């Protein structure tokens, strides 16, 4: 859901708890700073205590870099003279003698080369400067971060520099904030969370607050801080659009808050109002703001109680609001009084009322509320409370909207520029600054100042990739840019559109494809092995973090659960250290010290396309849809004349005419040709003249089109008219669609999930597997296996019914494939041999170029109220088996496959975010194609052939459809084989309905063959006899 006021959340924290001043430029006065300004993202976070600190002036920082699960280095500024470099560290080091080092802008630097107990190289740099001993020490693989960090300490400000260290690009971009949060004490983590929030980096802020929530759940000694932690965590979830989770956390905060606390009551009231505004619920925000809160006088006596040594729940909670950050709120001199803080929070409530009134179309009431907010602000220390600048900037932004609504464009621009000035002064190079610039550019675009707006947006798109939270901030404000580019429509606009579109959220499988491509780019088996191990450990960390959170959330843990929690925490610490060590080893391979590009220039896509190919990108922003067609020699961008909601309804109409579940039965209706032609006209009408010459269409869907294969679209009205005419004849066959001009009839179609991931897949080297084909399916019914469950009694209510296992899909298709693909060592595994246990234990899966499953796919929830966890049905194994190959278990397989074929039900469906996290994947989920397709890509499949709906057995349709795919498998493009097979069914009246031929989508590159090797010819009889078939 779009957030209409994305700057609101920052204001609450700045007013109620956050620092009065923005992070100053001087490092000595900062809690954190970025190390370097390009390359891999690394940050330094101040340590609250350290065994080396001997005075209050000593400082230390942990350095955390993207993808590393633990800090990789430390920076120190100590008053004590330098001693033995190896002494005083908490590392077991064996070091050589110091030597002089050359570092830009610095002289007199001593360098000590060491090895730690894990056998990793460790470097220490030391410099005496200005009465301090400055040092940077850490893993030698992070030498660029060490040198830039030391330069920053010496200059007492962040300095420019490239950080060239190993990165996998596999982790959640905000995961390094999670690592920092784990290393900080609660007060520091809270302050860091506020800073990230004010900067607009909501995903990072969320990590700090979630870490604090996790600590308070585990450690009862911090229970007095719970309300603040829960409320902050709730606000971040609201900022990120996770409204249900925000509601849950707000409810948790309410449970533990002291209702008599006047200040926290005001803070909580304001946060809940902002949560409503994030949901565009202005009326709900006003209701929240009308919540009664205690008068400030009710909290009087706090100072006396504190002086007397009496700290009750109310006063304890007060101290959490009145912490060191609150001292800064008054300009750094003295504490703000309780009355002053209450006045500021009330001023904010008037500001929020103004926002709500403006949203309700009440401009005069809004202005009145803003004026009251400004007056209250001025009444506190003469308006000298600097942290209130956030509210002032926000009011300028609101006033700009009011002025523009009155037709006063120049005044609106003046207000936005004043807001931008405040943001740039207080938080330079932050996501909030990007948002302010984007609002200004949007205003300019709406008023026709394209010469200013378009260059500004162009720079914002490039800047967003390097600012934490930048892309997320830009997404909510970028629509005017797309509108301007489409209206202009020239080649420069097309290139700008192509770049900007890549900032939008894509299915998680796009990242998984990019990670797989990065793994195979290492250039050696050792490099790929280290990369894979690092990815596995990263996933282990995500799973362990989830388990720690689960155990921590238990209100009253048993002794056994406490033991499990301690063990999980120990495991997390060890696996984090192991993962960081692996990354250090990976740094020996230059390929992995380069950040993988997340954006692709238009000319790069055009260069990758072959004659007769085209890349079609559908982009939906809010309710507006855009299309882009890229050919090797030209490109077109255009606006689609339908809203998201209209496309959703049209997609559903088409899908429901293919197959729909009614009364627990799958029903096929006459196909909706009218809707399919309308969809074609909407998506391709602007480029209809180009389509006939396209022989390979790479289709990147968005929104509802992710769940519909493009090949079912109907290209002309004549097909619709001919069908309608046939229905007027006597005894017409309403399921006969022969002669229809399907989009998929004359061209191959690939499904892409992002431009960069398609290029990555196209460039992937072929499988090096020695064996050609492995087919698995036709599970053994549970009733036939003595070790399988035979009754629903005692099973989990959210388990699938045993009837799922009693209707296995025939293995005939697998045997046909094995026969036609040839090869002396093809293998077909069915019945008892096809169990989840057996699959997990196989170590030779990476030896097959083609792997096919003929079984049921489960992508929905077994019943209402249960979670949806994608899986393939297998036979029940004799141990540790649930008869399912789960999303996580698929991800854990080790494949080296050119193609994985999923002849199962709806295998192109989504996985929930929860199921994704259970598999150790920190990003994505809730998109079509993020389920089984993503899992197999993660396991090592270059292309996946998946189905959009349950594949039919009638008329041997699936068997006939797949038969041609196996011919010429090493030479003919897989998309061409699919097209030829589909045409056979299209032209048969019995199977011309798309239900029979259109289910499968090729997620990957359809221009590649099914397999990189093998004979591709029909096997002789003796070969068929020699092929291995396993039943048990």
Which tokens go with 797? 């209510």
The two three-digit tokens of residue 412, written as one number: 């609106």
**Poorest-pLDDT segment among 124-138, 323-337, 753-767:** 323-337
Dig out the tokens for 763 from the structure.
């460039």
Q: Is 758 helix (H, G, I), strand (E, B) or coil?
A: helix
The Cα–Cα gap between 885 and 904 comes to 13
Reference 531, options 545, 543, 518, 542; nearest CA is: 518
Q: Give the model's pLDDT for residue 25.
A: 59
Helix or strand or coil: residue 126? strand
Backbone angles phi, psi at 653, to 5 degrees: -60, -40
How many other CB atoms are found less than 10 A from the CB of residue 987?
A: 13
Contacts of 806-809 with CB under 8 Å at 24 or more apart are 806/781, 806/782, 807/856, 808/777, 808/778, 808/779, 808/780, 808/781, 808/855, 808/856, 808/873, 809/777, 809/778, 809/854, 809/855, 809/856, 809/903, 809/904, 809/953
pTM given for the model:
0.82
- Which H or E run contains 646? helix 644-658
Return all residues near 642 (Cβ < 8 A) that are at least 6 apart: 625, 650, 682
User: DSSP label at 804?
Assistant: G
Contact 509, 937 (CB under 8 A): yes
Residue 317 has pLDDT above 70, yes or no: no
Which CATH number applies to 8-21+178-426? 1.25.40
Burial class (CB in 10 A: 0-12, 13-18, 19+), 29: exposed
- List the helix and strand counts (H, then E) for the chain: 38, 28
* C-alpha separations of 350 from 346, 366, 377, 386, 946 in Å: 6, 9, 11, 18, 54
Cα(378)–Cα(275) distance, rounded to whole angstroms?
27
Q: What is the CA radius of gyration of the chain?
A: 31
pLDDT value of position 517 = 74
* pLDDT 10s digits, 865-916: 787 778 899 999 998 899 999 888 998 899 999 999 998 666 655 555 565 5
Looking at the predicted structure, is the pLDDT value of residue 199 above 50?
A: yes
Pick the more confident residue, 89 or 96: 96
Structure tokens at 1028: 């291995």
Burial 123-148 (b: 16+ CB within 10 A, else e): bbbbbebeebbbbbbbbbbbbbbbbb
Query: Which of these, 401, 288, 297, lies nearest to 348 by C-alpha position?
Result: 288
For 328-353, give the DSSP string: HHTTSSSPPPHHHHHHHHHHHHHHHH
The SS3 assignment for 829 reads: strand
Tokens representing 71? Answer: 């800090």
Percent of the chain with pLDDT over 90: 44
Burial class (CB in 10 A: 0-12, 13-18, 19+), 731: exposed
Helix residue ranges, H only, 875-973: 887-892, 913-918, 932-939, 957-963
pLDDT on residue 245: 87
For residue 611, give the DSSP letter.
T
Q: What is the pLDDT of residues 544-582, one digit of tens each?
A: 888 888 888 787 889 898 899 889 888 888 888 888 888
* Span of 330-344, 398-412, 434-448, 855-869 with lowest mean pLDDT: 330-344
Question: Interior CA angle at 209 toward 207 and 213, to 5°?
Answer: 115
| Helical (H) or strand (E) element with 249 | helix 243-256
Positive/negative CA dihedral, 71, 73, 77, 83: positive
Q: Distance between CA 980 and CA 772 in Å, rounded?
A: 22
Alpha-carbon separation of residue 555 from 209, 245, 247, 313, 599 (angstroms)? 19, 18, 19, 20, 45
Sheet arrangement for strand 613-621: 634-643, 624-631, 613-621, 696-700, 748-751, 1000-1003, 941-947, 897-902, 848-854, 771-779, 827-831, 1028-1030
CA distance 538 to 581: 12
In this prediction, residue 594 has a pLDDT band, given cuts at 50, 70 and 90, of low
The arrangement of secondary structure in 766-789+799-1021, i.e. its CATH architecture, is 3-Layer(aba) Sandwich (3.40)
What span, in angstroms and rounded, lies between the C-alpha atoms of 48 and 324?
13
Compute CA distances 285 → 198, 229, 268, 346, 650, whole Å: 21, 22, 12, 15, 35
CA pair distance 771, 1027, nearest whole angstrom? 12
What is the Cα–Cα distance from 374 to 378, expressed in whole angstroms?
A: 6
Provide the 3-class DSSP secondary structure of residue 792. Answer: coil
Q: What angle do CA 1027, 1028, 1032 make, to 5 degrees?
A: 160
pLDDT at residue 95 tops 70: yes
Q: Please report which residue ranges of 784-931 form alpha helices under DSSP H.
A: 812-821, 836-841, 887-892, 913-918
More confident residue, 930 or 652: 652
| Strand partners of residue 46 | 61
Most confident among 109-118, 197-206, 685-694 (mean pLDDT): 685-694
What is the distance of C-alpha 977 from the center of its chain? 34
* pLDDT tens digits, 5-59: 444 444 444 344 433 333 345 888 777 888 988 888 888 888 878 888 888 889 9
pLDDT tens digit sequence for 475-513: 888 999 999 999 999 999 999 999 999 888 666 666 677
Q: How far apart are CA 213 and CA 201, in angstroms?
A: 19
What share of the chain in percent tops pLDDT 70? 84
What value does the mean pLDDT take over residues 929-942? 83
Where b means 16+ CB within 10 Å and e means fewer, 904-922 reads bbbbbbbbbbebbbbbbbb
What's the pLDDT at 264? 87
Segment 710-738 mean pLDDT = 94
Structural domain boundaries in the chain: 8-21+178-426, 27-170, 524-588, 611-737, 766-789+799-1021
Q: Higher confidence at residue 979 or residue 537?
A: 979
What is the tens place of the pLDDT at every residue in 116-157? 888 889 999 999 988 899 999 999 999 999 999 999 999 999
Average pLDDT, the chain: 83
pLDDT of residue 593: 67
Please count the other Cβ atoms lying within 10 Å of the Cβ belonging to residue 714: 27
Q: Which pLDDT score, from 0 to 100, does residue 903 have?
A: 81
Q: What is the pLDDT of residue 295?
A: 86
Q: Do residues 483 and 553 make contact, with C-beta atoms less than 8 angstroms apart?
A: no
Least confident of 32-41, 407-416, 456-465, 992-1001: 32-41
Tokens linked to 479: 């629509």
Q: How far apart are the first and last CA of the chain?
A: 51
Tokens of 396: 């300028």
Phi first, then psi: give them for residue 834, nearest 5 degrees: -95, 75
| Residue in the block written with tokens 């495991």 | 571
CA angle at residue 930 from 924 to 933, to 5 degrees?
Answer: 145
Three-class secondary structure of residue 969 per DSSP = coil
Q: What is the dihedral of CA 148, 153, 157, 159, to 10 degrees?
A: -10
H or E stretch including 391? helix 389-405
Bridge partners of 851, per DSSP, are 774, 900
Per CATH, 8-21+178-426 and 766-789+799-1021 having the same topology is answered no
3-state secondary structure 625-686: EEEEEEECCEEEEEEEEEEHHHHHHHHHHHHHHHCEEECCEEECCCCCHHHHHHHHHHHHHH
What pLDDT is stored for residue 1015 in this prediction? 39
């Amino acid at each position: 859901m779009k957030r209409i006021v994305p700057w609101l959340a920052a204001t609450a924290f700045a007013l109620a708890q956050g620092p009065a001043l923005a992070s100053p430029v001087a490092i000595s006065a900062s809690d954190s700073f970025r190390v370097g300004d390009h390359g891999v993202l690394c940050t330094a976070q101040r340590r609250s205590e350290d065994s080396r600190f001997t005075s209050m002036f000593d400082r230390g920082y942990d350095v955390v870099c993207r993808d590393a699960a633990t800090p990789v280095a430390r920076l120190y500024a100590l008053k004590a003279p330098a001693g033995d470099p190896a002494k005083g560290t908490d590392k077991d080091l064996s070091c050589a003698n110091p030597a002089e080092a050359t570092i830009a802008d610095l002289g007199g630097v001593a360098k000590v080369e060491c090895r730690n107990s894990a056998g990793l190289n460790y470097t220490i740099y030391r410099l005496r400067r200005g009465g301090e001993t400055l040092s940077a020490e850490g893993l030698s693989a992070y030498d660029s971060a060490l040198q830039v960090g030391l330069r920053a300490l010496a200059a007492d400000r962040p300095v420019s520099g490239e950080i060239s260290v190993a990165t996998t690009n596999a982790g959640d971009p905000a995961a390094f904030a999670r690592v920092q949060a784990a290393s900080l004490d609660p007060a520091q983590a809270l302050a860091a969370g506020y800073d990230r929030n004010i900067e607009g980096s909501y995903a990072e802020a969320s990590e700090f607050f979630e870490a604090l929530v996790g600590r308070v759940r585990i450690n009862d000694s911090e229970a007095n801080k719970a309300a603040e932690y829960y409320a902050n965590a709730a606000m971040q979830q609201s900022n990120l659009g996770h409204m249900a989770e925000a509601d849950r956390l707000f409810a948790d905060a309410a449970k533990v808050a002291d209702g008599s606390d006047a200040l926290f009551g005001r803070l909580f009231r304001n946060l809940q109002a902002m949560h409503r505004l994030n949901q565009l619920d202005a009326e709900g925000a006003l209701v929240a703001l009308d919540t009664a809160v205690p008068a400030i006088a009710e909290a009087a006596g706090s100072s006396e109680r504190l002086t007397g040594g009496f700290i009750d729940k109310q006063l304890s909670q007060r101290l959490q609001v009145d912490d060191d950050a609150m001292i800064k709120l008054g300009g750094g001199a003295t504490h703000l009084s309780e009355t002053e803080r209450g006045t500021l929070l009330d001023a904010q409530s008037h500001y929020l009322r103004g926002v709500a009134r403006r949203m309700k179309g009440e401009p005069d009431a809004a202005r009145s509320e803003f004026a009251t907010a400004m007056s209250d602000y001025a009444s506190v220390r003469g308006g000298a409370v600097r942290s209130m600048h956030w509210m002032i900037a926000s009011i300028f932004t609101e006033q700009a909207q009011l002025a523009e609504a009155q037709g006063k464009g120049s005044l609106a621009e003046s207000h936005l520029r004043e807001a931008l000035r405040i943001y740039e002064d207080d938080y330079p190079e932050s996501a909030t600054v990007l948002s302010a610039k984007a609002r200004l550019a949007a205003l300019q675009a709406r008023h026709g100042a394209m010469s200013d707006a378009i260059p500004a947006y162009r720079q914002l798109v490039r800047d967003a990739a390097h600012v934490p939270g930048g892309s997320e901030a830009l997404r909510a404000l970028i629509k005017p840019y797309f509108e301007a580019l489409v209206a202009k429509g020239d080649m420069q606009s097309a290139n700008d559109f192509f770049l900007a579109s890549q900032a939008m959220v894509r299915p998680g499988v796009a990242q998984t494809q990019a990670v797989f491509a990065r793994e195979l780019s290492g250039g050696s088996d050792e490099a790929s092995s280290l990369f894979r191990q690092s990815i596995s450990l990263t996933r282990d960390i995500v799973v362990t973090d989830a388990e720690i959170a689960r155990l921590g959330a238990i209100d009253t843990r048993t002794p056994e659960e406490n033991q499990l929690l301690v063990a999980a925490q120990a495991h997390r610490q060890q696996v984090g250290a192991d993962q960081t060590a692996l990354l250090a080893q990976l740094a020996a391979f230059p390929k992995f010290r380069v950040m993988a590009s997340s954006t692709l220039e238009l000319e790069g896509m055009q260069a990758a396309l072959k004659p007769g190919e085209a890349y079609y990108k559908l982009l939906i922003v809010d309710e507006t849809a855009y299309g882009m067609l890229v050919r090797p020699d030209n490109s077109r961008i255009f606006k689609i004349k339908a809203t998201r909601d209209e496309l959703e309804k049209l997609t559903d109409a088409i899908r429901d005419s293919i197959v729909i579940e009614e009364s627990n039965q799958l029903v096929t209706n006459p196909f909706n040709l009218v809707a399919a032609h309308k969809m074609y006209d909407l998506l391709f009408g602007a480029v209809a003249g180009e389509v006939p010459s396209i022989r390979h269409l790479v289709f990147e869907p968005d929104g509802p089109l992710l769940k519909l294969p493009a090949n079912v679209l109907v290209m002309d009205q004549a097909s619709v008219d001919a069908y309608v005419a046939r229905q007027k004849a006597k005894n017409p066959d309403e399921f006969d669609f022969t002669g229809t001009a399907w989009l998929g009839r004359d061209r191959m179609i690939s499904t892409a999930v992002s431009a960069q991931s398609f290029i990555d897949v196209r460039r992937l080297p072929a499988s090096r597997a020695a064996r050609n084909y492995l087919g698995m399916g036709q599970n053994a019914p549970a009733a036939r296996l003595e070790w399988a469950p035979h009754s629903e009694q005692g099973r989990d209510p959210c388990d699938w019914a045993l009837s799922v296992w009693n209707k296995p899909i025939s293995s005939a298709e697998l045997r046909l494939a094995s026969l036609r693909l040839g090869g002396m060592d093809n293998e077909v595994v069915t019945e008892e041999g096809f169990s989840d246990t057996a699959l997990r234990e196989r170590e030779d899966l990476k030896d097959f170029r083609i792997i096919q499953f003929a079984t049921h796919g489960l992508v929905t929830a077994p019943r209402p109220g249960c979670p949806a966890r994608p899986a393939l049905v297998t036979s029940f194994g004799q141990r540790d088996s649930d008869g399912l190959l789960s999303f996580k278990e698929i991800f854990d397989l080790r494949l080296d496959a050119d193609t994985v074929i999923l002849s199962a039900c709806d295998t192109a469906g989504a996985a929930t975010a929860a199921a994704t996290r259970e598999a150790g994947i920190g990003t994505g989920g809730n998109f079509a194609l993020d389920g089984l397709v993503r899992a197999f890509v993660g396991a090592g499949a270059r292309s996946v052939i998946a189905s959009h709906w349950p594949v039919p057995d009638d008329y041997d349709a699936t068997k006939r459809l797949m038969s041609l795919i196996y011919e010429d498998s090493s030479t003919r493009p897989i998309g061409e084989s699919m097209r030829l097979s589909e045409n056979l069914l299209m032209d048969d009246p019995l199977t011309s309905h798309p239900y029979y031929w259109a289910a499968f989508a090729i997620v990957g590159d359809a221009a590649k063959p099914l397999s990189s090797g093998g004979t591709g010819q029909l096997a002789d009889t003796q070969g068929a006899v020699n092929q291995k078939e396993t039943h048990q």
